[in-house]
Amino acid sequence: METSTPTNHDVLIAIGINWEGQRQVLGVDLANRESQSSWRDFVLALKQRGLSGVELAVSDDHAGLRKATAEILPEAAWQRCYVHFLRNCLDYLPRKADDDCLQELRWLLCFGRFCGVCGCLRSRKVESRI
């Protein structure tokens, strides 16, 4: 009887948004770890498959991903993901303060109905996903 040992892998995913606002999965890959080299290989493979015209890359604040993106897609500006930023902020607060602090953070980052972070029009649907 063979037994297998479970192994951990990271899933690398790239999602693109076209000018009509439609999301498309550009690529999915497994990596042994989420390193700069694995992200570099992933982004390079996307580019070799024809990815072009990237103007903005949005991601969490992973240093390896940021470096790989800057190297392979130097024309693209980088922006930290708004949702990841808010979640990271909450990591430093007591759980009982989450709701009040999240509301204050949103107020600081999004002025009125226009978001100062990503330029989107905020909606209750977007806010409820955070």
Interval 61-77: pLDDT, tens: 889 999 999 999 999 99
Q: Provide the pLDDT for residue 14.
A: 95
Q: Is the pLDDT of residue 130 over 50?
A: no
**Does an H or E element contain 79, and which?**
strand 77-80
Query: How many domains does the chain divide into?
Result: 2
Q: What is the pLDDT of residues 22-79, one digit of tens each?
A: 899 999 999 988 899 999 999 999 999 999 999 989 988 889 999 999 999 999 998 8
Is residue 1 a part of any domain in this protein?
no
Domain range spanning residue 42?
A: 10-80
Calculate what percentage of the chain has a pLDDT beyond 90: 39
Nearest residue to 98 via CA among 123, 106, 116, 61: 106
112: left (phi over 0), alpha (psi -120 to 50) or beta: left
Judge if 16 and 57 occupy the same domain.
Answer: yes
**How many Å apart are CA 66 and CA 84, to the nearest integer?**
14
